A and B are shown apart, each in its own frame.
Chain A
Amino acid sequence: AQTVTQSQPEMSVQEAETVTLSCTYDTSESNYYLFWYKQPPSRQMILVIRQEAYKQQNATENRFSVNFQKAAKSFSLKISDSQLGDTAMYFCAFMNYGGSQGNLIFGKGTKLSVKP
């Protein structure tokens, strides 16, 4: 069975600095998707960034980028120039390619606080 592990329950960062959230996963599959979702306080969860395992290039979305290490089964999220609005729970998630669509496996989350 696939598992997703986020080893940092809580992190904090100063505004404008860079922070990296860690995620490791376990799977025997070769094709899959990886995601980072963001859940701001009292607001709905939204997709931050997505990586397809067959793509070697790391995904980037504005200030958010990932470091995808397939052999190490590692998928970290880097937030550059942190802003107060980045304060949220961040969830790493996994889905098999060709699996049940939308049936994601989530990690336990990392609570990120951005301090002014």
Chain B
Amino acid sequence: DVKVTQSSRYLVKRTGEKVFLECVQDMDHENMFWYRQDPGLGLRLIYFSYDVKMKEKGDIPEGYSVSREKKERFSLILESASTNQTSMYLCASTSGDFQGFTGELFFGEGSRLTVL
């Protein structure tokens, strides 16, 4: 079974803290994504990566950074957490093989972050 694992299901942090959200996939996928999910706003892309050490900004990158040192791991970093970053964060991955691409993203279960 394919698997995308997010390290923490629930986190509570204080304003100004540095927060790391980890995501690991076991499918040897090239492409990995971080989305933010808020009620009434759907999913919004924060950052994505097509290869190790590569990153691209999504639609809402402000206040976030990412790290991809290994193919299977993609980390989302909140340098100084703020209350407006309270949200559900979803990691996803997919194959980078265009010939075999089906459009299917494989998602983790999500990390619900509360910033007090």
Interface residues in chain A, defined as those with a beta carbon under 8 Å from any beta carbon in chain B: 6, 9, 33, 35, 37, 42-47, 50, 91, 95, 98, 100-104, 106-109
Which among A33, A42, A102 has the greatest number of chain B C-beta atoms within 10 A? A102
- CB 8 Å contact bits of B58-98 with A (1 = contact, 0 = none): 10000000000000000000000000000000101111101
Residues of A within 8 A of B93 (CB): 102
Report which of B42, B43, B92, B108 forms a contact with A102, defined as CB distance below 8 A: B92
Beta-carbon contact of B90 and A50 below 8 Å: no
Residues of A within 8 A of B110 (CB): 44
- CB 8 Å contact bits of B22-46 with A (1 = contact, 0 = none): 0000000001010100001111110
Residues of A within 8 A of B102 (CB): 50
Q: List 20 A-B contacts (CB under 8 A).
A: A6-B42, A35-B103, A43-B109, A47-B103, A50-B103, A98-B98, A100-B50, A101-B50, A101-B94, A102-B31, A103-B33, A103-B45, A104-B103, A104-B105, A106-B35, A106-B42, A106-B43, A108-B40, A108-B42, A109-B42
